[in-house]
Amino acid sequence: MSNEEANFECWKINVYFKIMDCVINGMKNRFSVESLKIGVGVDNFIQLKYEAEMMVIKNMMNKESFEIDDIIPIVDNNIFLNFCKLLQTALTIPISSASCERSFSVMRRIKNWIRNTMTNDRFTNLSILHIERDLSHVIESENVLNIFAEKDRRIS
């Protein structure tokens, strides 16, 4: 074994395997058994390891390694109906918890020491508006004001 191969083996054992162990343990601690099964299922689905339709599509690919972008032009929605449904499901399942973590950081920004007397209803509504801000930016304030102005607000 050459000196370079020995250095590589030493690096692999002392660095790479330790990092991979940390990553795997972190994934096991962070995600539940069910979400890990979903992730493995999605990975197997992407790798086309199950179902007859997937085997046909894999044979149509004519290569061992491929990406989702390579599969989409080949798949016809009318011919591979089950595969298309599974592909839509796999692409819409959130694998990470980033959106949940963003929600908690939003809550800290909204309810700070200045707004400490805010009621829970108001806090919930402000949080939803901030978390879903891409949807709330589309809403035109004129339309909301017009709807609000149509109702009689006088106290009798």
pLDDT of 114? 67
Q: What is the pTM of this model?
A: 0.36
DSSP string of 34-61, one letter each residue: HHHHHHHHHHHHHTT-SSHHHHHHHHHH
Instruction: Check if the beta carbon of residue 95 is closer than 8 Å to that of residue 77.
Output: no
pLDDT of 146? 86
pLDDT of 96? 61
> 10-residue block means of pLDDT along the chain (156 residues)?
80 82 79 73 72 77 79 80 79 66 75 75 84 81 84 70
For residues 16 and 14, what is the distance between their CA atoms, to the nearest angstrom? 6
pLDDT of 52? 74
For residues 54 and 84, what is the distance between their CA atoms, to the nearest angstrom? 10
| Cα angle 88, 84, 27; round to 5 | 45
pLDDT of 98? 65
